[in-house]
Structure 1
Amino acid sequence: MKKGIFLICLLLGLAAKAQVWEDSYTNALNKANTEDKPIVLVFSGSDWCGPCIRFKKKILDSEEFVGFATNNYVLYNADFPRKKKNSLSQEKLNDNKGLAEKYNPKGYFPLVVVLDKNESILGKTGFDKRKSPEKYLDLFNGYLK
């Protein structure tokens, strides 16, 4: 019984710490307005772009980034997978294409665009393997000033 309670508490703790990526840009925008938070919009090719995969693993999935970003930003991944098994719904693909036309017309991957709740660009950056998660957070926070 004690082991079961411990396991449940552990899983709930991990779930509470989990990073929340919004499932649609509309939801991200609504949450940004409701919670008065900036949006971190990530353009990625999750199943074909090597730098995107490394950026996710080294930065976006790090404890430092997850802990801070989940509480201070609204997160949305405009993904462009190529493998059929990872394909997106047509609606989500169209949304991501619209975001790319507006914020990433040159098609850079990965690209991070930090937006305010009114969708104005506060800053843009790519992946620099020499930067730590803390350096990225400092960069994003610098865009807010």
Structure 2
Amino acid sequence: MKAITHLAAFALAGTALISTAFASTLEGWSTDLEKAFEDAKKQDKPVLVEFTGSDWCPPCIAMRKNVFSKKEFVDAASKDFILVELDFPKGDKEVKEKNQPYAKKYKIEGFPTVILFDSDGKEFTRFFASQYPSTEKFLGHLKKSLENKDLD
């Protein structure tokens, strides 16, 4: 019985650590959309906003691990975009409540959703990030999105 209690405690602690790790801010990403829009205007850069459930959504967790946390992705994408992550974690009610108005404003219907905004804050495309599950595919899609935006 003692072994089961220790095993349960260990599993619970591990789950808490994993949730905390997933809910942390990604390097190279902002969590402040309003500041990102200000920076975008100053730098004349579009904004990439990822809406995610970093500690409970399997496709979101996979995208974070395989694409968004990769130095290669952050270095390449941040040349063309201000990167913003708006998280809706189950493990952090304060963060979820802070970001909820944005989910409502932009009518987010699922995760992980990415919206691209021009430097004036006007949306020019949106898509489910998990359609592009590798750094190469995601960056390729971003490039096409920018090219199509420039044709407008």
Structure label with greater radius of gyration? 2
* CA-CA distance at 1:100 after TM superposition: 1.1
Q: Show CA shifts across 1:73-131 (max 9, x none).
A: 10111111111xx3335xx734x22221232x252101111111122222112133664
Map 1:51-130; keep pairs closer than 5 Å.
51-83=59-91, 86-88=92-94, 93-94=97-98, 96-103=99-106, 105-128=107-130
Q: Per the alignment, in what secondary structure is the counterpart of residue 28 of structure 1?
A: helix
RMSD: 2.1
Question: What TM-score comes out, normalization by structure 1 length?
Answer: 0.74
Q: Which runs of 5+ in 1 are unaligned?
A: 1-17
Q: Structure 1 pair 32/130, CA: closer, same or farther in 2 (3 Å)?
A: closer
Q: Which runs of 5+ in 2 are unaligned?
A: 1-25, 148-152
Q: Structure 1 pair 26/64, CA: closer, same or farther in 2 (3 Å)?
A: same
Q: Does 1:49 align with 2:51?
A: no
Question: What TM-score comes out, normalization by structure 2 length?
Answer: 0.71
Q: Structure 1 pair 47/41, CA: closer, same or farther in 2 (3 Å)?
A: same
d(CA) in 2 for partners of 1:78, 1:53: 14
Residue among 14, 21, 30 paired with 2:29: 21
How many residues align? The count is 122
Q: Which has the higher helix share?
A: 2
Percent identity between matched residues is 31
